[in-house]
Amino acid sequence: MARLNRLLAALLLSALGTTVQAQWVSDSWDVMGTRAQVEIWAPDPGGAAAVGAVRDEFERLNTLLSPWIEDSVISRINRLASSEPVHVSEEVAALLNTSRHYNILTDGAFDITFASAGHLYDYRQQVMPDADALAQARSQIGMQSLSLSPENAVVFSKPGMKIDLGGIAKGYAIDRAVAILRDLGIQHAWISLGGDSYTLGDRRGRPWMVGIRHPRNQTEIVLSIPVNDLAVSTSGDYERFFIKDGERIHHIINPVSGEPAGQVVSVTILASASIDADALSTSVFVMGIERGMKLVESLDDVSAVIIDQSGKVFYSSDLTGSD
């Protein structure tokens, strides 16, 4: 009996021992129209709770911001803001203000009212607007037609206009997830949502390696860079698209034409916050190499890798050490 007790005690101790051990925990799932992936260095069993907290936050933001969920705040704005003020939370107001900031910074290339035209495309059903519908939609694009009062009331001055936060929502969601992990005491993690990712800390003594894939040959890595505490976002014309009459109809819309932006095929932005990397990757995609790179060079702590139609790769000067 005493022997058995000793054995049980030993088993219990070893079980307790494992509960305080840290380990890598990874998970992936579908959310926000894309694939989420996390890798977290966490105490066992804290890893499962940390992944659960990230899952809950992504789900919350999807329900809040998706224009395809009928009672999301974005759907409510799109339905009502041309006829009555729509009151939004501080969080949503902050996202609208960040959107405005990027709209001004990019001289209109980043514009959440792109959706007036963007929502006429259906990439799965291969549907695009005809010339009349597109002309009408173009007249509804322009962020100056959206006002946000100090009381957080949104008003549209053009009937039928629409917004979509798809250009920054995933970046914002990642920043939120990183804040949640930090609050849980987690020091090493990698989080990605589609083309947006963040590396928290290092990989326990080794850097995280982020690879930029070739947009036309998914198995080819154009550049592999060691990063930590850095956001990396890629916007590509290969994420959501169909081919019509030889033309690639994709999901990054030039607000001037209401049609897919055509000069480049992929833009990767490195920045300290994921929301900035996300907004800028979409913006630089629309702006093209010359205007886009000029903007990147003017910003502190922002780098870019742009690949054009011919497959040529352009790097911001800090990456090539030429500044």
Residues forming the site for ligand ADP (CB under 6 A): 110-112, 114, 118, 164, 166-167, 170, 194-196, 235, 239, 251-253, 255, 278, 281-282, 286
Of 81 and 112, nearer to Mg ion (C-beta) is: 112
Distance CA 230, CA 164 (A): 26
String of contacts with Mg ion for each residue 230-269, x by CB under 5 A: -----x----------------------------------
Interatomic CA distance for residues 189 and 199, integer angstroms: 6
Among 66, 197, 282, 303, binds Mg ion (CB under 5 A): 282
- Measured CA to CA, the distance from residue 258 to residue 263 in angstroms comes to 15
Instruction: Answer with the entry of Mg ion, ligand ADP, none that 111 interacts with (C-beta below 5 to 8 A by kind).
Output: ligand ADP
Locate 320 and state its tokens. Answer: 């090539």
For the four alpha carbons of 35, 38, 44 and 49, in that order, the dihedral sign comes to negative
278, 286, 296, 307: residue in contact with Mg ion (rule CB under 5 A): 278
Pick what 288 binds: ligand ADP, Mg ion, none; C-beta below 5 to 8 Å, kind-dependent. Answer: none
Query: Cβ 267 to Mg ion, closest distance in Å?
Result: 9
DSSP letters spanning 11-33: HHHHHHHHHT-EEEEEEEEEETT
Partner from Mg ion, ligand ADP, none contacting 112, C-beta within 5 to 8 A by type: ligand ADP
> Which residues within the stretch 99-158 sit at the binding site for Mg ion (CB under 5 A)?
none
Residue number, 39 or 111, with CB nearest to ligand ADP: 111
Residue range at the interface with Mg ion (CB under 5 A); choices 71-79, 129-137, 280-288, 300-308: 280-288
**Binding segment (CB under 5 A) for Mg ion, from list 160-168, 222-230, 288-296, 299-307:** 160-168
Tell whether residue 164 is a contact of Mg ion (CB under 5 A).
no
Residue among 138, 123, 110, 132 nearest 248 (CA): 123
Does position 303 bind Mg ion by CB under 5 A?
A: no
Q: For ligand ADP, which is the closer residue by CB, 42 or 112?
A: 112
What gap in Å lies between CA 49 and CA 53, rounded to an integer?
A: 6
Q: Give the range of 12-20, 27-35, 50-58, 229-237 binding Mg ion by CB under 5 A.
A: 229-237
- Report the partner that residue 253 touches, choosing among ligand ADP, Mg ion, none (CB closer than 5 to 8 A by kind): ligand ADP
Residue 50 or 286: which CB sits closer to ligand ADP?
A: 286
Residue 194 touches which of ligand ADP, Mg ion, none (Cβ within 5-8 Å per kind): ligand ADP
Name the binder of 114 from Mg ion, ligand ADP, none, CB < 5-8 A by kind: ligand ADP
Q: Does 175 bind Mg ion (CB under 5 A)?
A: no
* Beta-bridge mates of residue 86: 154
Tally of CB atoms within 10 A around 305 = 21
110, interface contact from Mg ion, ligand ADP, none, CB < 5-8 Å by kind? ligand ADP
Q: What does DSSP assign to residue 112?
A: G
Chain centroid, CA 304 distance in Å: 16
Shortest distance, position 118 Cβ to ligand ADP, whole Å: 6
Phi/psi region, residue 207 (left: phi>0; alpha: psi -120 to 50; beta: rest), is beta
Helix (H, G, I), strand (E, B) or coil at 291: helix
Cα Dmax for the chain: 88
Distance between CA 40 and CA 56 in Å, rounded?
Answer: 16
**Which residue in this structure is represented by tokens 């009331």?**
153
SS3 294: helix
Tokens standing for residue 302: 């922002």
- Would you tell me which residues interact with Mg ion (CB under 5 A)? 167, 235, 278, 281-282
